[in-house]
Amino acid sequence: MTTTQFEGVPSLAGEAPGRAGTVVMKFGGTSVADTERLLAVARRLVAAREAGNRVVAVLSAMGDTTDELVRLAHEMSPEPAPRELDMLISVGERVSCALATMAIHDLGHEAISLTGSQAGIVTDTAHGKAKIVDVRARRIHEALDENRIVLVAGFQGVSTDYDITTLGRGGSDTTAVALAVALGAEACEIYTDVEGVYTADPRLVPEARKLHAVSYEEMLEMAASGARVLQVRSVEVARNHRVKLHVRSTFSAADGTWIREEDERMLEKALISGVTHTREEMLYRVEGTDPARLFAILAEAGVNVDTIVRTGSEILFSAPAEDHESARDALDGLDVDWTARDDLGKVSVVGAGMKSHPGVAARAFETLAAAGIELEVVITSPIKIACHVRGEDVERAVLELHRAFQLDAPEAERQHA
Ligand code: ASP
Ligand code: MG
């Protein structure tokens, strides 16, 4: 069984419905890594404005600024207070927005930068992983009505207790989608350092193809199982509100990947949309507790549990390696026997076509068996087959599965006119 959590729906707080021609354009950290790139982003925003759009930009922090701020916090204190950590790490996005706004002014256009709080992004009070509960977009609408380009600092909001919060790593994607929903935008464009979503990680599989279209459900499974282009929660919000996303490169004008509702054309072309992987995933075995208690405690500790299997009195679950300390503390606090394996990774085959075509699992298992790759745990959902394999087998497993499902063929792209 896989569990997927759904994000609450940002309400519109009485805002007017969407106006024609609003676009939300989000740029990731690599796209704004230095002032030269920020200038290129500014030019792109100006071009969208000159084409007649109402332009809202969401920027990430420059390069690895956020990592650097987190590092600084831990240099200062072993356990920084979550509220102060959010005060600190929300700064990077503000820097990008202010700088890009200056560049837009110099290009002869009106623009204004806003923090998440000023932009009306209201969240719950969970520091470091806050959820958006409301978007009060009045100020953005006013600025757009004054012909300004509006730049909103990604990844942050203000809580119902009036504190600055952040939305979790990669959270600028969620800022962008939530704004697209609240503004009734026609498009939500996610500009990044890759050309789109691929049939596998192209660094690992040179023959991987860029997908033209992926359904929300596929993208959710892909993002949750290792595809790193989008924060999972941004895809949940997009799906809940049927906002189309376009993931594309900052550095070219090429069409990227559309993430949208499933349609028959996606299914007729290729059964499988992609093979994703994670190199490290901890697998825990727990004896002597009931699942309700166990998973409540893990959830409270912020452990992002993925796979759950229960057989007899034993419970097996997996979680990302970075959550290991929290998981360990939570399990130690329970009176249970537990062990963990850290030598495993996970390979997943994802595709909406699986629902209607039997034999995908058989082909996946045959392929791995023929390559001499042992499966430790196998989990399926209606559109995913995930296999835990030894870490050292992950790369080979991805290559073999990619070939077995002919994802190097042109049809894999799901290109249709
Ligand atoms: N800068 C934040 C991070 O690195 C948020 C984002 O870029 O989406 O996680
Ligand atoms: Mg990102």
Which residues are bridge partners to 320 per DSSP? 281
Token pair recorded at residue 122 = 């209201």
Report residue 4's pLDDT band, with 50, 70 and 90 as the boundaries. Answer: very low
Q: Other CB atoms closer than 10 Å to residue 311's CB: what's the count?
A: 7
Residue nearest (by alpha carbon) to ligand 1 atom 5 = 170
| pLDDT over 60 (residue 1) | no
Q: What is the pLDDT of residue 15?
A: 37
Q: What is the pLDDT of residue 358?
A: 83
Cα–Cα dist 237/232, whole Å: 9
Residue 318 near ligand 1, beta carbon < 6 Å: no
Q: What is the pLDDT of residues 29-50, one digit of tens each?
A: 999 999 999 999 999 999 999 9
Cα–Cα dist 192/83, whole Å: 29
Q: What is the pLDDT of residue 416?
A: 61
* Listed residue (118, 110, 116, 120) closest to 15, CA to CA: 120
Q: What is the mean pLDDT of residues 350-368?
A: 91
| pLDDT over 80 (residue 256) | yes
Token pair recorded at residue 213 = 């279209």
Determine the longest span between alpha carbons in the chain, in angstroms. Answer: 69
| pLDDT over 80 (residue 12) | no
Q: What is the mean pLDDT of residues 302-325?
A: 89
| pLDDT over 50 (residue 255) | yes
What does the CA dihedral 99, 104, 110, 115 come to, rounded to 10 degrees? -30
Which residues are bridge partners to 192 per DSSP? 249
Highest-pLDDT range among 85-94, 328-337, 378-387 = 85-94
Q: What is the pLDDT of residue 3?
A: 36
Residue nearest (by alpha carbon) to ligand 1 atom 8 = 170
Residue 61 near ligand 1, beta carbon < 6 Å: yes
Ligand at minimal distance from the CA of 227 is: 2
| pLDDT over 90 (residue 20) | no
* Angle at the Cα of 271 from the Cα atoms of 266 and 274, rounded to 5 degrees: 90
Are residues 164 and 123 in contact, defined by beta-carbon separation less than 8 angstroms? no
* Angle at the Cα of 41 from the Cα atoms of 40 and 43, rounded to 5 degrees: 65
| pLDDT over 60 (residue 417) | no
* Listed residue (135, 150, 185, 138) closest to 20, CA to CA: 185
Q: Above pLDDT 70, what percent of the chain?
A: 94
- Which pTM value belongs to this model? 0.89
* Listed residue (158, 111, 162) closest to 135, CA to CA: 158
Token pair recorded at residue 317 = 């679950």
Q: Other CB atoms closer than 10 Å to residue 95's CB: what's the count?
A: 17
Q: What is the pLDDT of residues 145-199, one digit of tens each?
A: 999 999 999 999 999 999 999 999 999 999 999 999 999 998 899 999 999 999 9
Which of 71, 132, 155, 322 gets mutated to test ligand 1 (max ligand atoms within 8 A of its CB)?
155
Residue 171 near ligand 1, beta carbon < 6 Å: yes
| pLDDT over 50 (residue 208) | yes
Q: What is the pLDDT of residues 257-286, one digit of tens each?
A: 999 999 887 777 678 899 999 999 999 999
| pLDDT over 50 (residue 18) | no
DSSP code, position 11 = B
Q: What is the pLDDT of residue 14?
A: 36
Are residues 65 and 92 in contact, defined by beta-carbon separation less than 8 angstroms? yes
Q: What is the mean pLDDT of residues 70-98?
A: 97
| pLDDT over 50 (residue 6) | no
DSSP, collapsed to helix, strand or coil, labels residue 58 as: strand
Q: What is the pLDDT of residue 234?
A: 97
Q: What is the mean pLDDT of residues 322-327?
A: 92
Q: What is the pLDDT of residue 353?
A: 87
What are the backbone angles phi and psi of residue 73, rounded to the nearest 5°? -60, -45
| pLDDT over 80 (residue 5) | no
| pLDDT over 50 (residue 9) | no
* Angle at the Cα of 87 from the Cα atoms of 192 and 41, rounded to 5 degrees: 25
* Ligand 1 closest atom vs CA 28: 7
Higher pLDDT, 304 or 56: 56
| pLDDT over 50 (residue 62) | yes
Are residues 348 and 278 in contact, defined by beta-carbon separation less than 8 angstroms? no
Ligand at minimal distance from the CA of 247 is: 2
| pLDDT over 60 (residue 71) | yes
Alpha helices in 118-275 (DSSP H): 138-145, 172-183, 216-224, 232-241, 264-269
| pLDDT over 90 (residue 23) | yes
Cα–Cα dist 81/360, whole Å: 48
